[in-house]
Chains A and B, each alone.
Chain A
Amino acid sequence: MTDFDRDAANAKRRKLLQAGLGAAAIGAVPGATQIVRAQGGFDWKKFKGEKIEIFLVKSPRGDLLTKYHKEFEDLTGITVGSEMIPEQQQRQKAVIEFNSGSPSFDVIALSYHVQKRQFAKNNWLTDLRPMIGDKSLAAPDLDFGDFAQGGLNYAVESDGRVMSLPFNLDPWVVYYNKEIFDAKGVAFPKTFAEMIDAAAKLNDTSKGISGFVGRGLKNANVPVWSSFLLGYGGGFVDAKGRLTTDTPEAIEAGKMYQTLLGKYGPQGVAGFNWNEAQSLFLQGKAAMWLDGIGFAQPLEDPNKSRIVGKVGYGVMPAGPKRQVSALFGDGEGISTYSKKKGPAWFYLQWASNKANQTRMLQAAAGAPVRNSAYAAAQSSADFKAPKQWVECMLASAKIAQPGLPVIVPVTEFRDTFGVALTNMINGADPAGELKKATAEFQPVLDKSEKA
């Protein structure tokens, strides 16, 4: 895992640069390299009879946790009330609730790529360090050292606070339809140029096959563009806080986005979110689909997919400057206003424990953050995810970098640039749109950093 660690550490350093701070503070996490052993005093049933509220996002991960909530209840005697709502609404509600000073939940699932900075800046989550260090509250298999560096990068703030436990990583990959590729004798692309070429060759409107499908819906579509941006060697924000989203690299990425989705994408792609893209791919109507690796599960489900057994899992092709897989991640944190921090901490430990991580891998619901999950899953008889999926995931994790800037107004960033990208699909000039969006967003970014 050393390559992974190194690159992830690089990513961390870059993030810190952007945040304007100096040394990484990973070493400040207590017990990071030790295994916390249970000493007399830890008891899963310690908070028996309590009730906690969990606020989840409707996603494969949320589904997974909800499915096994009963196991947690039986283990600890803590009753769990939970709610899963769609991503955008969950993020909006989180802000409203935290702002009210008395949110209705104790534990919240957060998307690091959108909410991490916002939550940290507003101190909405509890610092977990005291609880991690408290042996009587730490589960015997907490094994903090088992967490992959990428996950820790997300969970730990630049000043050393541990605001959440990481839950999963979601590097972006290219799903491809092997049957369509083989029919025309095209090999899976290794570079951006080959990718565009393949899309052109495999695009067949007479048969209703699109060479490429991805998110076109504003806000959701930004990761597609950032996948290209990172490959061209570009970034989002420089060390001085100026946006670098109108640089030549960004414009090239915009042109690639325009070509792949506008020219070789399906009709109506401007309104596609991940689920529409997934549906199209499931029916065998697209040659390639760029999205997070955690959406793989239905692809191999005969009840839902027409392409079972024909799905290829490809690592993101290399751009002219770098080969990068855009990385996103989720975790769970405890609300700072919660009055049930103890039971909530138990939930966090259970949610990110080895069993659940293994289940996530088996269900292809996401990339686990625990290193041990991979070995455990592969040796298990229940293992359903195809071998190529696991290989793809490991390879992608090695070249993963954050796919969104670590700033407070991420939603606004995604909205502003998302609009520009959707306009590009409909023919607008990438350079003009990106310059306009950059000019529009820079003041927002400046204001957010000052406040």
Chain B
Amino acid sequence: MERPGASRQSTRARARRIARRTGFWFSVAVIVSPAILVFLWMLSLSLKNEIDNLAYPPVFIPDPPTLKNYVQVFTENAMGLYFWNSVVVSGCATLIALAVGVPAGYGIARLQAHRFTVLILIARMTPALSYLIPLFTVFQFLGLNNTLTALVITHLVITVPIVVYVMAGYFETLPKELEEAALIDGGSAWTLFRYVALPLARPGIVVGTILAFIFSWNNFVFGAVLAGRATRTLPAAVYNVLTFEQLAWGPLAAAAIVVTLPVLLLTVVIQKEIVAGLTAGGVKA
């Protein structure tokens, strides 16, 4: 509408727009910066040598940057072995969870057996420590203490619920027409599952696998209590690097990065799928 002073109006409107745009970008910066800054600080700590680490005010850009901390972490602490242990434990626990959980998710979805989902929810709600005591006693009895086997079994507590949960939610969203058509054509439940539902569920399986692997990898308590020297997982080993070195922040930060980098890389690479998996599973809850 043309009004007297329209040009003044439009300048004001444009100013408001610019203000809103800047406000928006400012909010974006405020929201995202804590996330990135902590990681950058972690990186900075790991690349600084000891003198810089003890300096106050803190030095942000290492001068000169050094890889000595990473070398120290790997040579003094057998991080390679612990890394491998984490891979084995989380990998096996995830594979078993998939073998057991994908069919279970399918069965639950088709049977609408939500009571089983409640059981899974209860499992999620229980503090991890409460599994440790009984499981530990049993492992002692079986002579499995300090073995990777014991750790894998314990980690199933983490991986199976996640896989079942995600897959149940996922299978429920799959349209049933295809299956019902195949049924009428004379297929058994197994063929339905194997040839119709499973291929369609691949995205869900990817999500479930990655989420289960990540949460198993990140677990600290089980490794800290149950593992022995040769079978410790990465998070538990990292915790041992702390305490009792005066302000050895460099190696500590380097160890922390080594522990969490694989998981972060996984996250970035399949970020979209994780988002879908978490929200699909979450909403269906």
Instruction: Give Cα A266 to B82, complex, Å.
Output: 37
Contact of B44 with A by CB under 8 A: no
Known pairs A83-B229, A303-B50; A58 contacts B244 (CB<8 A): yes
Are A86 and B247 interface neighbours, CB within 8 A? no
Interface residues of B in 147-169 (CB under 8 A from A): none
From known contacts A101-B140, A104-B146, infer whether A283 and B54 are also in contact, taking CB-CB under 8 Å.
yes
What chain A residues lie within 8 Å of B228 (beta carbons)? 104
Q: Is B145 at the interface (CB under 8 A from chain A)? A: yes
Give chain A residues whose Cβ lies under 8 Å from the Cβ of B143.
102
- Distance in angstroms from A155 CB to nearest chain B CB is 25
* Given the contacts A86-B240, A89-B240, A99-B140, A275 and B245 also touching, CB distance less than 8 Å: yes
Q: Are A86 and B140 in contact (CB under 8 A)?
A: no
B11 lies within 8 A of chain A by Cβ: no
Kindly state the separation between the CA atoms of A81 and B54 in the bound complex, as whole angstroms.
34
Known: A81-B229, A89-B240. A278 touches B246 (CB 8 A): yes
A282 at the interface (CB under 8 A from B): yes
Q: In the complex, what's the smallest C-beta–C-beta distance from A311 to chain B, in angstroms?
A: 15
Decide: A275 and B246 in contact? CB cutoff 8 A: yes
Interface size in chain A (residues, C-beta < 8 A): 26
Say if the beta carbon of B75 comes within 8 Å of chain A: no
Q: Given known contacts A104-B228, A104-B229, A283-B54, is B244 in contact with A304 (CB within 8 Å)?
A: no
Does A100 reach chain B (CB closer than 8 Å)?
yes
- By the criterion of a CB under 8 Å from any partner CB, how many residues of chain B are at the interface? 18
Query: Does B243 have its Cβ within 8 Å of any Cβ on chain A?
Result: yes
CB proximity to A under 8 Å, residues B206-249? 224-225, 228-229, 240, 242-247
Contacting residues, chain B, for A273 (C-beta < 8 A):
243
**Interface residues as binary, B89-120 with A (CB distance below 8 Å gives 1, 0 otherwise):** 00000000000000000000000000000000
**Smallest CB gap from B143: residue in A:** A102
Find out whether the CB atom of A86 lies under 8 angstroms from the CB atom of B244: yes
B interface, over-half SS: loop
Query: B240 touching A100 by the CB < 8 A rule?
Result: no
The distance from the CB of A363 to the nearest CB of chain B, in whole angstroms, is 16
A85 to B228 Cα, complex, angstroms: 11
**How far does the alpha carbon of A53 sit from the alpha carbon of B145 in the complex, in Å?**
16
**Is residue A59 within 8 Å, beta carbon to beta carbon, of the partner chain?**
yes
Q: Find out whether the CB atom of B243 lies under 8 angstroms from the CB atom of A100.
A: no
**Across the interface, do B246 and A100 meet the contact criterion of CB distance under 8 Å?**
no
User: By the criterion CB–CB under 8 Å, are A100 and B229 in contact?
Assistant: no
Closest to A57 in B: B244
A391 contacts the other chain (Cβ, under 8 Å)? no
What per-residue 1/0 map shows which CB atoms of A65-99 lie under 8 Å from chain B? 00000000000000001010111010000001101
CB nearest to A273 among chain B residues: B243
A298 within 8 A of B: yes
Minimum distance in angstroms from A36 CB to a CB of chain B = 34
CB of B140 within 8 A of CB of A275, answer no
A102 vs B50: C-alpha distance in the bound complex, in angstroms? Answer: 41
User: Among B145, B146, B224, B243, which residue has its beta carbon within 8 angstroms of that of A275?
Assistant: B243
Cα–Cα, bound, A104→B225 (Å): 14
Report the bound CA distance from A273 to B244 in whole Å: 9
> What residue in chain A is nearest B236 (Cβ atoms)?
A89
Q: Are B246 and A282 in contact (CB under 8 A)?
A: yes
Residues on B with C-beta less than 8 A from A259 are none
Task: Give the distance in Å from the alpha carbon of A282 to the alpha carbon of B244 in the complex.
Answer: 15
> Would you call A100 and B244 a contact (CB within 8 A)?
no
Residues from chain A with Cβ under 8 Å of B229 in the complex: 53, 81, 83, 104
Considering only CB atoms, which chain A residue lies closest to B51 in the complex? Answer: A303
**Smallest Cβ distance from B78 to chain A, in angstroms?**
10
A279 an interface residue at 8 Å Cβ cutoff? yes
Contacts of A58 in B (CB 8 A): 240, 243-244
A100 touches B245 (CB 8 A): no
Beta-carbon contact of A102 and B145 below 8 Å: yes
B54 / chain A contacts, CB cutoff of 8 Å: 283
**Chain B contacts with A in 240-266, Cβ cutoff 8 A:** 240, 242-247
Residue of B nearest to A282 (CB): B246
CB distance from B242 to the nearest CB of A (A): 8
Shortest distance in angstroms between A423's beta carbon and chain B's nearest beta carbon? Answer: 23
Taking CB atoms, residues of chain A closer than 8 Å to B224 are 89
Distance between Cα atoms of A101 and B244 in the complex (Å)? 30
- The complex places the Cα of A85 from the Cα of B245 at a distance, in Å, of 12
In the bound assembly, the distance between CA atoms of A89 and B247 in angstroms comes to: 19
- Can you list 11 residue pairs at the A/B interface with Cβ under 8 Å? A81-B229, A85-B240, A86-B242, A86-B244, A96-B136, A100-B140, A102-B143, A104-B146, A104-B228, A276-B246, A298-B246
**CB-CB nearest 5 A-B residue pairs:** A83-B229, A86-B243, A100-B140, A279-B246, A58-B244
Q: Which residues of B contact A (CB under 8 A)?
A: 50, 54, 136, 140, 143, 145-146, 224-225, 228-229, 240, 242-247
